[in-house]
Structure formats: C-alpha cells, structure tokens
C-alpha cells in the first residue's frame, strides 16, 4: 500500500504553547477565495518538475514548527546583525524556498496582505490531512534557537521524547512523524559517524545491521564525506508509504534517532505494528500528528504580521 510519489502536490527556547484559537478550516474563504488552490497549483508545478522537493518541503514545515512554533520564522533571511534560523546547521540542507516565494507572489497579486507565509508552508501537504488556517508570521528568527531546539539525527530516545514533549507532542507523535523519513535523501555527513567512528575507535554502531553498514560504506567512502547523498528509505524514497518502519525493525534505520525508536516500549511497539501490518494505520496517524504539529505555538489575531515577502519582515 503506497501513495504515489507526488503525494505532496496536494501535498530549546521553550515557548509557551498557544491553544491555537483562531485557526479554522476555510479561513480564507471570504478574504482570499481560492488561496489553497493557488498554493496547491504552485506546488504541483514545482514538484512535477523536481519530485525530490517533496521531502525537504515537508521537513521545512517540521523545522519551522519546532522553533518558535509554526510562524514561518525558518523562511526569514539572516541580516547583518542577526543570524537567522535558515543558516543554522540543521537547516542548511533545506530546499524549496522558491516554492514558498512563488506561491506568496501570486497570492499577493490576488489578495494583498492577507495570506501568511506560515499558512503557505503549512499548506504544502498531502491531501490526507486537514490544515486549519489563520496563522500569522513571526518577526523573530534566531540561528541558535534552531541549533538547540531541532531534534538532531544523533539524538537518543530520552532526548527525542523531551524535545517533542517541549512542544506538546507525545511519544506516538514522535514515532509517527519519524515516518516522514520514508521519502527523501540525506547527506552522508548526517550519519557517517555511525558507520566509521561510532565510539571514537574506528568502529560501527553495533545496533546497526552489518550488511546495511557495508552498503552505506560503499556509498559514503569516508567519515568526512560531505557531498554524497543516499536514500533514507532505499528503493522507496520517492513513495510515501510505511516501508520506513520495516527498515527500522530490521535495524536499518539510517540515523541514530531512527534506531532510538526501538529503545522505548511505546515507540518500539508502533514500529513493530506498522512493519507487520505494512503501514495499516500509518497514513491516518500521520495525518493526525501533522495536524497537531501544525498548531504548535501559532500566532493568531493581531500577533505577528502578514509578510509581503516570506524571506524578510515588513
């Protein structure tokens, strides 16, 4: 069971959580009719020509929401006096900013000063979950906050659960949203320490399948390989499906954070369930967790602003 690869066409400064009042379905129905269709059209245009953009666009929304909430702060450029989130190491591999700007440009022509960049980013989604709208754009973006608040690929289960909990997400959300690794690629530099120098003695992570280690070494030729990219879900990296969990269950998760899902009873049980049932509830669960994530510390009402350009404040 799998969605087509173009699913996404339709597709710790700890900040107190907002109750997300003000978000609702059809928010722009009167103020900018067709806003959602415009975002979907622009997204379709870009992803049909570059399907590999689907994964980084999904990842961009995740990275936005985990720092100051879903306020579009990840889209802001750095200034002379302020290094922004976009230049933090975890965000340097993000791609697809041109998709956001293209959608914003068309929306500004149709409905000036109405649709926020934060809502545009949330709308670049799959068609299987609802996206309540009404977010406003934040005016603050700080590089160090992204560095400290985004869950790193080498995190253990204790750190992962704590970081998810800090933004109101639980262990189930953690293991479900980790399933987003079913699409996309990764640079070798994000995991080569696992296969070349796990404990500082030139060894590999003993929890990783030995055959998978050998395969990765054939692609990433040294611990210092910063150019090569590999599929996060080999053989299925363009298809949004439940195969990620089968890999994790076989000790073939690419990152330490993937392997860590087997170190907690609740997350391990979910991995095993999806691996055995071929992702029977994954799509429903992913939709629920994405909707929940999209409400993290949103700005609504008169908070924040509506940017004219997503890369800088008005």
Query: Looking at the annotation, which residues are catalytic?
Result: 63
- Distances in whole angstroms, Cα of residue 82 to Cα of each of 91, 142, 144: 16, 7, 10
Helices (H), 236-307: 243-249, 256-259, 265-277, 282-293
CB 245 within 8 A of CB 175: no
In degrees and rounded to multiples of 5, residue 312 shows phi and psi of -155, 155
Q: Is 85 annotated as a binding residue?
A: yes
Q: Is 73 annotated as a binding residue?
A: yes
Q: Is 67 annotated as a binding residue?
A: yes
Q: Is 64 annotated as a binding residue?
A: yes
Map residue 120 onto helix, strand or coil: helix
Of 89, 98, 114, the residue nearest 35 (C-alpha): 114
Q: Give the Cα separation of 259 and 98 in Å (integer).
A: 33
Q: Is 71 annotated as a binding residue?
A: yes
Q: Give the Cα separation of 294 and 126 in Å (integer).
A: 13
The Cα diameter of the chain in Å comes to 63
- Distances in whole angstroms, Cα of residue 151 to Cα of each of 165, 223, 258: 12, 21, 11
Report the binding-site residues.
64, 67, 69, 71, 73, 85, 151, 181-182, 233, 241
Report the binding-site residues for substrate.
151
């Amino acid at each position: 069971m799998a969605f087509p690869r173009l699913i996404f066409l339709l597709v710790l400064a700890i900040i107190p959580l907002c109750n997300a009042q003000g978000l609702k379905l059809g928010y722009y129905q009167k103020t900018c009719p067709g806003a959602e269709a415009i975002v979907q059209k622009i997204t379709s245009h870009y992803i049909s020509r570059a399907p590999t953009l689907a994964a980084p666009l999904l990842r961009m929304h995740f990275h936005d929401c985990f720092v100051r909430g879903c306020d579009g702060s990840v889209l802001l450029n750095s200034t002379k006096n302020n290094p922004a989130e976009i230049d933090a190491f975890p965000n340097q591999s993000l791609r697809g900013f041109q998709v956001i700007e293209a959608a914003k440009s068309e929306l500004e022509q149709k409905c000036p000063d109405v649709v926020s960049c934060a809502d545009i980013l949330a709308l670049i989604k799959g068609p299987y979950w609802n996206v309540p709208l009404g977010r406003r754009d934040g005016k603050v973006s700080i590089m160090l906050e992204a560095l400290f608040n985004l869950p790193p690929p080498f995190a253990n289960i204790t750190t992962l659960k704590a970081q998810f909990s800090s933004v109101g997400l639980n262990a189930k959300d953690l293991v479900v949203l980790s399933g987003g690794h079913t699409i996309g690629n990764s640079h070798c530099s994000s995991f080569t320490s696992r296969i070349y120098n796990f404990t500082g003695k030139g060894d590999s992570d003993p929890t990783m399948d030995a055959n998978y280690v050998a395969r990765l070494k054939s692609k990433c030729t040294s611990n210092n390989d910063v150019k090569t990219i590999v599929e996060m879900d080999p053989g299925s990296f363009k298809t949004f499906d439940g195969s990620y969990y089968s890999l994790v269950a076989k000790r073939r998760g690419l990152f330490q954070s993937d392997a860590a899902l087997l170190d907690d009873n609740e997350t391990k049980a979910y991995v095993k369930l999806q691996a055995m049932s071929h992702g029977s509830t994954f799509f429903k669960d992913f939709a629920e967790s994405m909707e929940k994530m999209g409400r993290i510390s949103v700005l609504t009402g008169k908070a924040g602003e509506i940017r004219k350009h997503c890369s800088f404040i008005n």
